[in-house]
Amino acid sequence: MRALTLRLAPLALSLAAAGCDPGPVGDDDTAVADDDTSAPADDDSVPDFDPELAARLQEALDASRIEADAPAATLSVYVPGVGSWTGASGTADLAAGTPTDPHDRFRIGSITKTYVGAVLLQLVAEGSVDLDAILSDLLPEVPHSGLVTLRQVLQHTAGYPDYIYQGGMMSSMDEPRTPWELLDLVADDPLQFDPGTDYEYSNTHYVIGALAIEAVTGRGYDQEVRGRLLDPHGLPDTFVPSAEGLPDGMAHGYVGSGDTLADVTYDMDPSLAYGAGEMVADADDLVAWARALYGGQVLDVASLATMTSPAVLADGSTVGYGIACQIQWYDGALTYGHSGATYGYQSRLRWRPEEGGDAAVVAVLVDNFFAEADLVEDAAWAVILDR
């Protein structure tokens, strides 16, 4: 899931240019050493998991976390016929020297989009909204809403420029903003192309998506996410922090590399990411969410097919994105999921079907914006696929 991650990298560069350049680690901030002790999952949580496979996963996590230059990383997997396992590696708070716990919470960035997309598809199935209606029927205040459909917005084929690249987003990052203030950042910009003719990943689209939920239901999108998804599907360690606040048990987030890591855990208010990327979760919850979502427990058959089908452009070509879903071939299988990147953190979530109707799942959370979470994900898949 590399392509969309790379699209987000300029955010950190822009933040550095705006005066957020990470300084050297202070005297009390010790660097993560190659021989750091690791925290495997509690024995009680995985009583039936193959201990040899667990040891190989932990070894892969430790090595790839160091290679990726992440102070902390957690990895959760579900392996068909084997069960679930969660492990941790590194130091969750460098200043305090706190070891990473398997159940530490991380900002999950754009994996947030999967929850927004799922709620909207439930509303479509209920007859409350039409994906192909002109957006102005629902949100007339949104710029260019008379030119695009909700489906185009959710498939990133509407052409809205990404608000995170606008200079105004970088000022006062610790202050909350409304979603309308985020849209104001691109209100005077034209669409990047005629809607439906091209694809360009843009966080603006899922700010609009969250607003669409609120326009249809009359409730905050956070309330719909919690009431429809988090509580019914038993996800106690997943949060929408613009409404609920950042939870306890957060792994600290960093920007930088080596001995120049700056702690930015609380430097960005969650509302700046909103429905595009504000949510917080632990790795266990992400695996449970993927199994419920792509396994058919959240959406009906038609809605899940809509989510996981590639967007079709006006010329008949397709792109590897459905609705809130990255669709990619991985080691010979078509996989579904999403990647994430937000200030201080990176995340990966992938669901890969196997013979027999079940699917393997990998969730990766790291706490350095510049860390390459793909290294941890690839290392985990190498172990799982070689079992």
Model confidence at 15: pLDDT above 80: no
Q: State how many domains the chain has.
A: 1
Look at residue 243 and tell me whether its pLDDT is greater than 60: yes
For position 258, what pLDDT does the model report? 82
Residue 2: band (very low, low, confident or very high) from pLDDT cuts 50, 70, 90: very low
Backbone angles phi, psi at 161, to 5 degrees: -65, 155
Structural domain containing residue 64: 2-385
The arithmetic mean of pLDDT across residues 252-279, rounded, is 95
Taking each helix axis as running N to C, give the angle between helix 112-125 and helix 301-308, from 0 to 180 degrees, rounded to the nearest 10: 140
Task: Find, among 177, 175, 227, 229, the residue nearest to 207 by Cα.
Answer: 177
Q: Which of 293, 145, 166, 157 is nearest to 212 (CA)?
A: 145
Residue type, position 205, single letter: H
pLDDT at 225: 98
Is residue 39 scored above 90 in pLDDT? no
The 10s digit of each residue's pLDDT in 298-341 is 999 999 999 999 999 999 999 999 999 999 999 999 999 999 99
Q: Is-contact 307 320, C-beta < 8 A?
A: no
pLDDT of residue 19: 30
The better pLDDT of the pair 27, 191 is held by 191
pLDDT by residue (tens digit) across 133-143? Answer: 999 999 999 99
Strands 326-330 and 311-312: unpaired
CATH no. for residue 127?
3.40.710.10
Rg of the chain over all Cα atoms, to the nearest angstrom: 20
Average pLDDT over the chain reads 89
Task: Place 172 in a pLDDT band, splitting at 50, 70 and 90.
Answer: confident
Opening angle at CA 70, ends 117 and 364, nearest 5: 35
pLDDT of residue 55: 98
Dihedrals phi, psi of 223, to nearest 5 degrees: -65, -40
pLDDT of residue 48: 80
